Amino acid sequence: MSGGHAHHTLYLPGTSVLHRLPAQVKLVAAVLAVLAIVAAPREQFWAFGVFAVVIVILAVTAGIPLLLIARRLLIELPFIGFALLLPFVASGERTDVLGLHLSTDGLWGAWELLATATLGVSVSILLASTTPLREVLTGLERLRMPTLIVQIMSFMIRYADVVADELRRMRIARESRGFVASNIRHWPVLGRSAGALFVRCFERGERVHLAMLSRGYTGRMPQPEGDGATMTTWGLALSLPVLFAAVSLTAAVLT
């Protein structure tokens, strides 16, 4: 019940054109743009350069500091680790780089993974930094995602902090009585804590449902308000994936 939640959010308030576009339009544009990036042949380095430049221009337009994007890109670290392994473990033709005997296929694979992952994650960072979470949900609903799934996602976002707080209080209560999980014999205790947390969440779910029923809930969420996007906004947003697709296509033709 404490008020000291970390107010972590990916959203960066702003008024740029990227901020103003409706969420459903941005979602579609981002997914298509990522697909276009993945489709680009890996041998055409310039294509990836074009993608990167366009993403940087968009970030600057939206007023998102490049350093922030770089920091958020850290999420792809596990993939980078995997990409670095590829040249060592992949089979096929070998080549010598700086005295290391590496697989050519592996090197290409690593480059492709690194480039597409970095660009793809950057696009989603752009989306997340310019779109509040609840609008992402509204956008998904407008894109005809089943309401039940959108509801579950929305509840997950709403209650993540509450559950994390509950977990933290349980941990503090354990530790206050001298418990520190240091080896495998302590796992049953942690298991029981997890079980207790599950039961608490389940019971909270029932209470939330009661509270919803009490305000006239009949199994259907009220529809989101506001109008859909106009053709012009769709055109504006889709110009990004169209540009990327054109670059990929040109690159494929040149290969």
Partner 1 sequence: MSDALRLRGLSFSYPDGHLALDGVDLTVQQGERVALLGPNGAGKTTLALHLNGIHTATSGSVEISGMPVDKGNLAEIRRRVGIVFQDPDDQLFMPTVRDDVAFGPRNLGLGQAEVAQRVDQALTQVRLHDVADRPPHHLSFGQRRRAAVATVLAMDPDILVLDEPSSNLDPAARRELAEVLLSLDVTILMITHDLPYALQLCPRSVVLADHRIQADAPTAQLLADDEQLAKYRLELPFGFSVPTA
Asked if 75 and 144 count as a contact pair (C-beta separation under 8 A), the reply is no
Backbone angles phi, psi at 103, to 5 degrees: -80, 130
Which residue number, 3 or 99, has a Cβ lying nearer to partner 1?
A: 3
Q: How far is the CB of 169 from partner 1 (least distance, A)?
A: 13
Q: How far is the CB of 212 from partner 1 (least distance, A)?
A: 7
Which residue number, 154 or 248, has a Cβ lying nearer to partner 1?
A: 154
Residue 13 CB: number of other CB atoms within 10 A? 10
Which residue number, 66 or 208, has a Cβ lying nearer to partner 1?
A: 208
Q: How far is the CB of 216 from partner 1 (least distance, A)?
A: 4
Q: How far is the CB of 151 from partner 1 (least distance, A)?
A: 10
In angstroms, rounded to a whole number, what is the distance separating the alpha carbons of residues 27 and 139?
A: 7
Strand partners, 96: 101
Residues lying near partner 1 in the complex (CB under 8 A): 1, 3, 5, 7, 133-134, 137, 154-155, 157-159, 161-162, 204, 207-208, 210-218, 222-223, 225
DSSP string, 178-223: T----SGGGHHHHHHHHHHHHHHHHHHHHHHHHHHHHTT--S-PPP
Which residue number, 105 or 166, has a Cβ lying nearer to partner 1?
A: 166
Which residue number, 99 or 222, has a Cβ lying nearer to partner 1?
A: 222
Q: How far is the CB of 123 from partner 1 (least distance, A)?
A: 24
Contacts of 190 (CB under 8 A, 6+ apart): 181
